[in-house]
Structures are given as structure tokens and as C-alpha cells.
Amino acid sequence: MAAAHSSCLTTGCLYRVIFKEISLFKRSLYAGFKIVRVCSSLSGPHPFLSASRTGNERSEVLSRYDSLVCSASLREDAQQRTALYQLEKLNRVMTDYNNIPMYLPPPKDCNLQSQFTPHEEIPKPQPPCGHYIYGDVGTGKTMLLDLFYSCVKNRRKKRVHFNAFMLDVHRRIHKLKQSLPKRRIGKMTMYDPIFPVAMEIAEETCLICFDEFQVLDIADAMILKQLFEGLFKCGVVVVATSNRPPEDLYKNGLQRAAFVPFIGVLKKHCHAINLNTGIDYRTIEMELAGRLYYISSEPDAENAINTLFEELAYRQNDVTRPRVLNVHGREVTLSMTCGTIADCTFQELCERPLGAVDYLEIARCFDTVFIRNVPQLRVGMKDQARRFITLIDNFYDQKVRVVMLADAPLHCLFDQGPMNGEEARDRLMLDELGLTDEASSRLTLFTAEEETFAFQRTVSRLREMQSEQYWIRGDRSKK
């Protein structure tokens, strides 16, 4: 009994020591930020920039860029260099930046409040401003993002494709909702999981680099303002690339009026950088890896594809067989695979109800994917076109190698002429909804403007994916 009593006392003392240490830690953080606030107002530098890092320090981001230019891996580009100056400033700040105090509640015994006026709250430090880099396809946006990300020394960073990020956000929201206790009959309980999810993400990282920031889904559009307000409030810094300027995000989207306030939030926390150089670097001086894009009308095109698959499969330690992938409890079957190679048809990949999460799983399992029977995509084939764009976006981001057999040359793969049958279906739907022609012209669902715009990026990426450099980078057998 005495031993048990002694154990309880010991445990109680241990808890008191732990809570005291936490309290001291919080007080030191808030006290430190008060000092930083005063010093910042006097001296001017950003409060998160260590005194040891001066403006004369060698620029790592620009040095790496210069090395790539000198080695002829990149061409000198004045707009890219200007953007890198901005990214280098942020890189220096991010080295010593930490957003933990932004989402920690102030300690209850914190006496700092007494040092401010009754109407003034304890100040929270302002996080540095991020960047939103936009421009035409092939202008080097992703290259700049990756160059910046590789130079950031802060370990609490994340680089992610925007599609994959939003899938993760929806998964977190669903998981949080499932963990809530069941509501009692007759009682309504309102619970908004978006800000808790933002806090959860902020606890994991203080810098997120988004590639291909685009908004096509109304479910994403409706939560972005609240989600990003939460991220910024918790001190998360955002650097993103996009083909569109902020004002054109979700252009012509359904219920866009509810989305527009997000644009103001984004512009407040991210400095927009225009990278419209007028040059698609993917299409110039690109050394091809060999014949990777075939047109079905060409003689022996299918035999050439079969031969290439057999050559690559021969190097695999596996047999040719169907394979079933498990994606969040669903089964996705691919009819012909061998090791890290998948031989698929367009129908398998883009005419089934698949999405980004399925394509990411395929990219995780395979480094080379054959895509056969790709039709000439018309505006009326909106669902297939969206899936194909998403497929290539995710494959490109994960450096998956693609061999394609299509009905049309690459530059003609997307035909902007409408299909009569689809037009009739859309006209019937408009009539049933009671929408006017003027209203219908503003809806992405019926104009396919987003698909046309995004397909320019897809074609540019497919060209780069045929290069020898891309093919070598995508070979996972050497990793």
C-alpha cells in the first residue's frame, strides 16, 4: 500500500514537472515573439529571419540555377531569374521559420497580456508571404518550384500535386466526421471539420509547395476559402504553380460566386509571379528516347507496340498477368501487367469511373504504362477528356513513362469540334434546368473551356515524356 502511495506521488510529481516545462516553453515562445515584435519594428527585418543570415549571403537557389545554365541543362531566362530572386528571399526566411506558435493556444498562466492595453490581444507573428507562379505551359514553373523546394533547409516542408492534396483533404474530412459520436435522435449538432483539418495539416508542415494549382471540382471550390484561411491562420506558407492567374481560377465554374472570396484570400497571402515567357521549353532541343508515340493508322504500329512491351517485360522478374489494385477498398483491375509495366487500353483507364486517387495508385505500382486505343478526343467526350488530363498530370508528376497508340497525331489529339449527340443531350439538360443560352455559355460543364485549356498542358507534357531525359529519370530499376 505504501509502495502504491509512493508510486502515485511520484507520478503526480512527474506530471507537475511536465506541465511546468510545457508552460515555461509556451511562455518563452510568447515572450520571445513580443521581443521579436519590438525588434522588428525598430530594425525592419522579418521576425523569422535569423540575424546570422544577411543579404550578403550566397544565394543557393540562384547558384543552382546558374550551374544548370552553365551545364546547358537549362537556357538562361530573364523572367525565370527574376522569379528566383523572389523565391530566394523566401528560402532564407524559411530556414529559421516555425509555425508551431501560430496554432498553440496561449498558456493559461501567461502574464504577457498584462503588458498590453485591455483592447489589445497578445500579438501573433505574421508568417512570410508565399508565391503563386503562373504562366503558359512549358515555361519552367515546375522546374522553379522543385529548385526552390530542394534548397529549403526547413524539414517541415511538403511538395505535392494539388490534386493529390485535395484528395488527402477530403479523406481527412471524412475520417474526422466518422470519428464523431453519433447524433442523438431529435438533436441537431453542427460540426465543421474544415478548420480542424487545416490545423492538422499545419501541425505537420509549415511550407507547402503545390504543383498544378487548379480548381475543376465544385466540391473543392466550396471548401477552399475556409481551408486556406485556416492554413494561413496557422502560419502555413504556400508556394504554388498554375497555368492560370488567380483571377481566372475556377473560371466559368458552377456557383463561382461562392468561390470568388477565396481569390482574395490567396492574393493576400501569396505574391503572384507571371512567368509568361512565350517559350515552351519542353518542345525545343529535346532529344527523343525513341519512338514512344504511335498512330494506329500507320502500318505495323500495333506490332511495334507489342514488340516494345515484350522487350521491356523480358527484363522484369515476373510473368505477364492481370493485376488487381486495392484503392480505398475498391478493386481496380488491369488486364495485362508484368512487374513494373502495365499494358492498358484507353477504355480501361478513362472510360471507367476512375479518378486521381486511382491514377496515383497505378503510378505507385508501375514506372511504365502503355496506353492503347486512344481516340481523338472531342469536346463532347468531357468525362473521358477530364480523366485523360488527370491521368497524364499524375503520371507526369510521378515520372511514369508512357508509350501510346492513338488515332491521331499528338497535336491533333484534342478536336474542339462538338459532337452532335452530346450537344443534343446538353441542350436537353439546359432546357430541363431552365437555363438560358447566356447562362449556359458560362458553365464549364457545357463549354469544355477548362478541358481545352488543360489539354494544352497535357500535350506539352506528353511531348516532354517522350524525351530521353524523362525516360531515364522514370526508370525505377536503378533506384
The owner of cell 488527402 is 168
What DSSP string runs through 241-309? EESS-GGGTTTT-TTHHHHHHHHHHHHHHEEEEE---S--TTSSSPPB-S--EEETTSTTHHHHHHHHH
Residue-wise pLDDT tens digits, 273-284: 999 877 877 777
Helix (H, G, I), strand (E, B) or coil at 477: helix
Helix (H, G, I), strand (E, B) or coil at 430: helix
Question: What is the 8-class DSSP label of residue 117?
Answer: -
pLDDT for residue 4: 45
Q: What percent of the chain has pLDDT over 70?
A: 71
Question: What is the 8-class DSSP label of residue 319?
Answer: -
What DSSP string runs through 450-471? HHHHHHHHHHHHHHHTTBHHHH
Rounded to whole angstroms, how far apart are CA atoms 249 and 244?
A: 6
Helix (H) or strand (E) holding 479: none
Which is nearest to 239 in space by CA: 268, 270, 215?
270
Which residues fall within 8 angstroms of residue 258, CB to CB, at 6 or more apart? Answer: 221, 222
- Residue 447 contacts residue 265 (beta carbons within 8 Å): no
pLDDT for residue 254: 81
Lookup: cell for 479: 533506384
pLDDT for residue 354: 93
Residue-wise pLDDT tens digits, 255-274: 888 999 999 999 999 999 99
Residue-wise pLDDT tens digits, 307-349: 999 999 999 989 999 999 999 889 999 999 999 999 999 999 9
Rounded to whole angstroms, how far apart are CA atoms 378 and 417?
A: 6
pLDDT for residue 469: 85
Length of the chain: 479
- Residue 157 contacts residue 206 (beta carbons within 8 Å): yes
Helix (H) or strand (E) holding 99: none
Q: What is the mean pLDDT of residues 222-233?
A: 94
The mean predicted confidence, pLDDT, of the chain is 79
The owner of cell 470568388 is 260
- Residue 345 contacts residue 372 (beta carbons within 8 Å): yes
pLDDT for residue 10: 43
How many Å separate Cα 235 from the centre of its chain?
18
The pair phi, psi for residue 273, each rounded to 5°, is -120, 120
Q: Confidence band (pLDDT; 50, 70, 90) for 203? A: very high
Between 441 and 40, the higher pLDDT residue: 441
Residue-wise pLDDT tens digits, 18-63: 344 434 444 444 444 443 333 333 333 343 333 334 444 558 899 9
Rounded to whole angstroms, how far apart are CA atoms 69 and 452?
A: 33
How many Å separate Cα 394 from the centre of its chain?
10
Question: What is the 8-class DSSP label of residue 206?
Answer: S
What DSSP string runs through 377-411? EETT-HHHHHHHHHHHHHHHHTT-EEEEEESS-GG
Which is nearest to 408 in space by CA: 453, 358, 459?
459
The owner of cell 481551408 is 227
Helix (H, G, I), strand (E, B) or coil at 63: helix
Question: What is the 8-class DSSP label of residue 89?
Answer: H
Burial 195-206 (b: 16+ CB within 10 A, else e): eebbbbbbeebb
pLDDT for residue 83: 95
